[in-house]
Amino acid sequence: MKLYNLKDHNEQVSFARAVTQGLGKRQGLFFPHDLPEFSLTEVDEMLQQDFVSRSAKILSAFIGDEIPAAELEARVRAAFAFPAPVSQVQADVGCLELFHGPTLAFKDFGGRFMAQMLTHISGDKPVTILTATSGDTGAAVAHAFYGLKNVRVVILYPRGKISPLQEKLFCTLGGNIETVAIDGDFDACQALVKQAFDDEELKQTLGLNSANSINISRLLAQICYYFEAVAQLPREARNQLVISVPSGNFGDLTAGLLARSLGLPVKRFIAATNVNDTVPRFLQEGEWKPKATQATLSNAMDVSQPNNWPRVEELFRRKVWRLKDLGYASVDDETTKATMRELQALGYTSEPHAAVAYRALRDALQPGEYGLFLGTAHPAKFKESVEAILGQTLSLPKELAERADLPLLSHNLLADFAALRQFMMRNA
Ligand SMILES: *Cc1c(COP(=O)(O)O)cnc(C)c1O
């Protein structure tokens, strides 16, 4: 597989290089040089296959001979160890539930596949993943790498500033996962990570890698569940399909568009955001004018400078698609709450991110069309706000309930690079 840097098309790298490096020069994103396409017959056949075999075929269409097919399939099987079911919400609307993985959010798909690819690529060479988190990404990274050979994971988080449940989710694992509560805020944690990556000796000795969220392997993994969704729909829904994607950094939407470029029958996509609506305003007015980020109920989408957007634009350019065919909507918190109650009345318990996507979908769906919205997180993940909005208590899924009783295994450190360095080098 060949990829190029969107900021400098002359920088071309292999899949292995793109995965280990994350970003190109000048922080440019990598984008596939070839955009494979399946024929109608091939897509039909693939939709009959099981999730893992089909996903291996999709991924190998991009990755090519850099990873042997059997090895890739084994890696996909290890990563995608949980289902992505479509739950019927109304006669013409379904929710693609992406929250049945270990951290109850869709980021498990991308995170776990990235972990498999990084460990495959580094072989027997030890790697240390160092990352800072304000909650969510840390849990996904920890679970994705948990128990993998030759990988050590160090996760920094601001002490006392993440939810107790979040902390339980990734600070109780032990084994190759080391969690460090820093006396400082999230920015202090990020600054420490940055200092570590600037320290050449540390980087070389430990084989530091950031497992960054813009990693190309995550995007490729996310393509697979769009196929899995269509495979579950009745045939007649296929060409009438509208998919609404709750968007923050627009990785998920990019993956959906890549699925369509492979030949998946999707009539149109809707980019659904909360009031952090840089993209909807851009699509409406043609001007890119990010505002200050606002805190909302759908906080994983509180992003005003979405970092995957250049990939969306590049794909439209390459495919000669028109941006004006991309649907969009922004949904405020009041409407999000009302929509969660509306879904509850339909017998479907939801959370703020999915509700944003459902609202955008319901308001735009035409007669004869079939709509899918992505359920990006389990409602229990946003227990406090969901309970307050719906006026009922939610029970935690079993894995989470069990974890809540385990002791925290975190280390404590001051926000001081020398201390972190010593901690990280203690066995080197
Ligand atoms: C990360 C996240 C999103 C946004 O996904 P992007 O790929 O960044 O657009 C939506 N919902 C939830 C629950 C998330 O964690």
- The DSSP annotation for 300-364 comes to GG--SS-TTHHHHHHHHHHHT--GGGSEEEE--HHHHHHHHHHHHHTT----HHHHHHHHHHHHH
Range of the domain at 363: 81-102+216-390
User: Would residue 145 count as lying in a domain?
Assistant: no
Q: What is the pLDDT of residues 85-101, one digit of tens each?
A: 999 999 999 999 999 99
Alpha carbon of 281 to ligand 1 centroid (Å): 19
Q: What is the pLDDT of residue 212?
A: 78
Q: Which pTM was predicted?
A: 0.94
* Ligand 1 in reach of 105 Cβ (< 6 A): yes
State mean pLDDT over 148-158. Answer: 94
State mean pLDDT over 380-401. Answer: 90
- CATH classification of the domain holding 312: 3.40.50.1100
What total of structural domains would you count in the chain? 1
For 240, 260, 270, 359, the CA distances from 324, given in Å and listed in that order, are 18, 16, 11, 20
Strand order in the sheet with 241-246: 86-90, 93-97, 370-375, 241-246, 268-273, 327-330
Q: Lowest-confidence range among 3-17, 211-225, 336-350, 409-423?
A: 211-225
- Percent of the chain at pLDDT > 90 equals 83
Alpha carbon of 247 to ligand 1 centroid (Å): 6
Alpha carbon of 32 to ligand 1 centroid (Å): 22
- Closest ligand 1 atom, CA of 251? 7
The average confidence (pLDDT) of the chain is 94
User: Would residue 115 count as lying in a domain?
Assistant: no
User: Would residue 329 count as lying in a domain?
Assistant: yes
Alpha carbon of 248 to ligand 1 centroid (Å): 6
User: Would residue 253 count as lying in a domain?
Assistant: yes
Check pLDDT > 80 for residue 135: no
